[in-house]
Amino acid sequence: MEEAKTKQLNKLYLLRSILAIAAGIGSAFVIYAHMSSYLAFIMPVIAYAASFIMVRSNSFLKVATMKKGSYHGIGIFILGWFVMYILGLTLLLYL
């Protein structure tokens, strides 16, 4: 039983990691192409909200508690978004 919960939390962690990478690259493209910093910083909020809705709907992942599902993986999400945003923007501006 405990192994099944851990497997679901690992899926949630991986989902938020992938969404952070996509949001970071998307934010870099938005700020490079449109010079819209508001949209670039709203994109990760939308991506995190989408992952929260996926967990909340219980159709994608069955997490033990909603609190655990809400905060699990938030650190990698913020760090992954920031690193990919800086890397993407650097590559777009200097290449």
Q: What is the 3-state secondary structure (H, E, C) of 24-66?
A: HHHHHHHHHHCCCHHHHHHHHHHHHHHHHHHHHCCCCCCCCCH
pLDDT at res. 35: 81
Is residue 72, in this structure, part of any structural domain at all?
yes
| Rounded CA separation 39/80 (Å) | 18
Domain for residue 16, yes or no?
no
Q: Is residue 38 part of a domain?
A: yes
With 70 as the cut, is the pLDDT of residue 79 above it?
yes
Task: Judge whether 11 lies within some domain.
Answer: no
Q: Spell out a b/e string for 38-58, using b for 16 or more CB atoms within 10 Å of the CB, else e.
A: eebeebbeebbeebbebbeee
Average pLDDT of the residues of the chain: 83
Residues 19-57: tens digit of each pLDDT: 999 999 999 998 888 887 888 889 899 999 988 887 777
**pLDDT value at residue 24:** 93
Number of domains comprising the chain: 1
Domain of residue 66 covers 21-94
In a domain, 13, yes or no: no
Examine residue 49 and state whether it is found in any structural domain, yes or no.
yes
pTM: 0.83
pLDDT value at residue 21: 94
